[in-house]
Structure 1
Amino acid sequence: MEFQMKEIGYKTTFEYGELHVAGDVTYGFRPFQLMVSAIAGCSGSVFRKILDKKRIVYDDITIQAEVERNEEKANRIEKIHLHFIISSSSEDLDREQIQKCLELAHKNCPMVQSVEGSINITETFELK
């Protein structure tokens, strides 16, 4: 990866497109937003793969992320809570099985495991 300096922030280009990163949201994505997005996106992708592998039927998944930052320590991310809202037309969803899938996703998500011990990541879910 290569990042090029802009007047404010940096930019890089990936296969999908150009990414602008800056501390000011008017010039790009803020670094903490990208970190939380990487963790939520990765966790959600791994969770979906596990659900699919177990043939658990769902229609949609929305992830809500809550972030706690510590202003006294360079505004570092201390905690990320991911809440998965799972919509399904099937009424046969087993809450215990979904919980096990979520725990398995936590253990197998590369982004979650990369920050293990530095950022406290918790997950919950609800069925709709």
Structure 2
Amino acid sequence: MKFNMKNGGFFIDLPYGRLHISRDSEGFGPYELMIASLAGCSGSILQTILEKMRLDIQDIQIEANAERNKKKANRIEKVSLHFKIMGTKLNKQKLTRAMELTKKNCGMVQSVLGSVDVEETFELIECQSG
């Protein structure tokens, strides 16, 4: 990957578009990208696992929160990912197993473990089948 400097940040051209990285309003901030990487990776892995389990999932929403240490370069110390899983005939035991597999198989989460505490929780929202 090749990053190019621009006024106030950097950019990279990717096959699907240009990604602007900046601390101002001209792009995504490094903090946002870090949290998005953890949430996006976990969500994608979870979605794949749930499909393989043949669970009837209609939607997944992820709420992400982070705790930062201002005394240590404002580093991220903890990220909480809360998954709202909507579907029909949801099985809590299967979802608990799916969450364990998600954490184990998400490369972004595995990359930060030991430096950042990643907490993953979920809630099931039963939808009417139709």
Question: Shorter-chain TM-score: which interval?
Answer: over 0.9
Distance 1:116 1:15 in 2: 30
Per-residue CA deviations over 1:10-34 (Å, capped at 9, x if unaligned) read 111111110010122x121110100
Distance 2:21 2:70 in 1: 21
Structure 1 match to 2:16? 16
Structure 2 match to 1:70? 69
TM (normalized to structure 1)? 0.95
| Percentage of pairs with the same residue | 49
TM (normalized to structure 2)? 0.93
Q: Which runs of 4+ in 1 moved over 6 A?
A: none
Distance 1:6 1:80 in 2: 30
SS in 1 for 2:40: helix
Distance 1:4 1:106 in 2: 33
> If each structure's strand is expressed as a fraction of its own residues, which one has the higher value?
2
Correspondence list, 1:7-86, <5 A:
7-24=7-24, 26-86=25-85
Distance 1:105 1:41 in 2: 12
SS in 1 for 2:64: strand
Per-residue CA deviations over 1:51-87 (Å, capped at 9, x if unaligned) read 1111111100000001111110000010000000011
One-letter code aligned to 2:38: I
SS in 1 for 2:62: strand
| Equivalent pairs, count | 125
Structure 1 match to 2:128? none
Unaligned runs of 5+ in 2: 126-130
CA RMSD of aligned residues (A): 0.7
SS in 2 for 1:118: coil
